[in-house]
Chains A and B, each alone.
Chain A
């Protein structure tokens, strides 16, 4: 092997411009491939191991959520949203519920806002754990993927205690929650806040300054801030490119303006920056949860878990059987007969992958007239061919996992 063969950077340029000597290969990456973590196809044109061109095919798990939503009452759409980004389902749920609350003009008590913040930050942590452990898995380190999933499991135990479900939670209601958190749920939240920082430090020690991991990830799949904005990037992927845009700060919702936290930004937008931005975001999430717990402790009222909106929150069952008014509300909610104003709103939240937007057009009927979900994955995944062009095939795999493309969110 000559010296030039050992230095890919010397001969890469020629190959990208088609001056290479090798015959081009077409390779199907996907639709189902263990390394793509989801169902999407990339037809790659390769010169040796260098990617020249990519053609993407998506839509393998398209479930027509926007169409189905046009035929469902508002409550029944919540269960569609958590099937989009199932790694951080509660954020999707609450994003939708907040959009509906904006449409209806419901103002929430602070305690409910803070409870939502806790759940949303917990689910951001699960989302980032999944993404970062998968990055390490695809970079060749299997340990974190198996070892740090226990923290995701611990968070799912909190969800389980609150609503009984783990993955598709649906714990929210229009105006708040379905029920108050139990003592055990609070206890588990406090425990995780105490123990997770040490685990994150350990995760950092394994990878962040690990020579092998750094060589693998630095300069792998970079994108400039300018291109990232042009491609509609949001969330950790945009921040890794150096733009400090975070919906929680830019358009605070659910009382995020009460919290003190930092927005980590990267510099080069490569896999390493995306990894480290997510690591730091998990720490910031822990800090936000800690602040939220303190704020909730200061609120004397321990029983409020939803706003005073009898039109939308089911009355307790014993009242339904004994009280005329409760029975009427129960009937109206279950049958979807509550009045809804005519109007259109767009509400966005900071999802695991970026700005998750909900656009509702209501004509006053029991179903929304039109619903549009702004799914961050769908919007930034189109930049994938440009990011991986001229790189190695194995870099493409790593880039895809670092972009955290969730098939459910991509296809809706």
Chain B
């Protein structure tokens, strides 16, 4: 394996403190490569992120993005990339929502930088962020009819007949 460093001590601290805060069944965690990833229910996500920011010094929201796993009960999701610069520690927090109730609380009150990230997630995945100051599309045009990063949105025009995709699977 390449030399990436695992900050096991801080990871364990985050797990312990979150267990205190949310209870042992309030979240699940797993280490994916070098980063500890936490999964919390959408009702708890704002509380968790606020706790991590205020109590565990995750002062920096590196990025945030949406996910779509067709076939799961809770198909859509969001990933928050948190970074504690002082401790040199990165974690990810994930949450899942269903297609019907694709809503999450905004975190713009914690990190102003979440503003455009949440707009991007709305634009591409159709997850509505409740409480966001300016919830509208950002990269696509405003009357775009779909949420293009969802897996069921075709990349190419499906009626095209000029390409033979038998071998390449496109």
In the complex, chain B residues 91-144 whose Cβ is within 8 Å of any chain A Cβ:
92, 111-113, 115-117, 120, 124, 138-141
Residues from chain A with Cβ under 8 Å of B59 in the complex:
229
Q: Is the CB of A382 within 8 A of B33?
A: no
Q: Is the CB of A359 within 8 A of B65?
A: yes
Q: Is the CB of B79 within 8 A of A229?
A: no
Answer whether residue B149 sits at the interface, using C-beta atoms and an 8 A cutoff.
yes
Residues from chain B with Cβ under 8 Å of A374 in the complex:
62-63, 81
Query: What is the bound-complex CA distance between A380 and B29, given in angstroms?
Result: 30
Residue in A71, A102, A108, A230 whose CB lies within 8 Å of B170: A71
Query: What is the bound-complex CA distance between A345 and B90, given in angstroms?
Result: 12
Answer whether residue B72 sits at the interface, using C-beta atoms and an 8 A cutoff.
no
Q: Is the CB of A59 within 8 A of B62?
A: no
Q: Is the CB of A346 within 8 A of B2?
A: no
Answer whether residue A200 sits at the interface, using C-beta atoms and an 8 A cutoff.
no
If A102-B33, A361-B67 touch, whether A232 touches B60 (CB-CB below 8 Å) is yes
Answer whether residue B49 sits at the interface, using C-beta atoms and an 8 A cutoff.
no
Query: What is the bound-complex CA distance between A106 and B2, given in angstroms?
Result: 6
Q: Is the CB of A370 within 8 A of B2?
A: no
Q: Is the CB of A379 within 8 A of B117?
A: yes
Q: Is the CB of A359 within 8 A of B139?
A: no
Residue in A59, A250, A357 whose CB lies within 8 Å of B81: A357
Query: What is the bound-complex CA distance between A403 and B63, given in angstroms?
Result: 19
Q: Is the CB of B149 within 8 A of A67?
A: yes
Q: Is the CB of A58 within 8 A of B81?
A: no
Contact with A along B29-52 (1 / 0, CB 8 A): 000111101000000000000000
Query: What is the bound-complex CA distance between A71 and B140, given in angstroms?
Result: 20
If A64-B148, A357-B81 touch, whether A345 touches B33 (CB-CB below 8 Å) is yes
Of the four ranges (under 10, 10 to 19, 20 to 34, 35 or more), the interface on chain A belongs to: 35 or more
CB distance from A3 to the nearest CB of B (A): 39
Residue in A59, A251, A345 whose CB lies within 8 Å of B138: A59
Answer whether residue A372 sits at the interface, using C-beta atoms and an 8 A cutoff.
yes
Q: Is the CB of A67 within 8 A of B32?
A: no
Answer whether residue A101 sits at the interface, using C-beta atoms and an 8 A cutoff.
yes
Q: Which residue of B lies closest to A374 (CB)?
A: B63
Query: What is the bound-complex CA distance between A359 and B5, given in angstroms?
Result: 17
In the complex, chain A residues 376-412 whose Cβ is within 8 Å of any chain B Cβ:
378-383, 411-412
In the complex, chain B residues 2-46 whose Cβ is within 8 Å of any chain A Cβ:
2-5, 32-35, 37
Q: Which residue of A lies closest to B153 (CB)?
A: A67
19 additional contacts (CB under 8 A) given A66-B124, A108-B2, A412-B139: A58-B138, A59-B140, A64-B148, A67-B153, A70-B155, A103-B33, A105-B2, A107-B1, A107-B2, A107-B3, A229-B59, A232-B62, A251-B88, A343-B33, A346-B35, A346-B81, A374-B62, A374-B63, A379-B63
**Chain B residues engaging chain A, CB cutoff 8 angstroms:** 1-5, 32-35, 37, 59-63, 65, 67-68, 79, 81, 85, 88, 90, 92, 111-113, 115-117, 120, 124, 138-141, 148-149, 153, 155, 169-170
**Chain A residues engaging chain B, CB cutoff 8 angstroms:** 58-59, 62, 64, 66-68, 70-71, 101-103, 105-108, 229-232, 243, 245, 250-251, 343-346, 348, 355, 357, 359, 361, 366, 370, 372, 374, 378-383, 411-412
10 pairs of residues in contact across A and B, judged by CB atoms under 8 Å: A101-B2, A105-B1, A232-B62, A251-B90, A344-B37, A345-B34, A357-B63, A359-B79, A372-B65, A382-B112
7 smallest CB-CB distances across A and B, nearest first, come from A232-B113, A59-B139, A374-B63, A372-B65, A62-B139, A382-B116, A105-B1
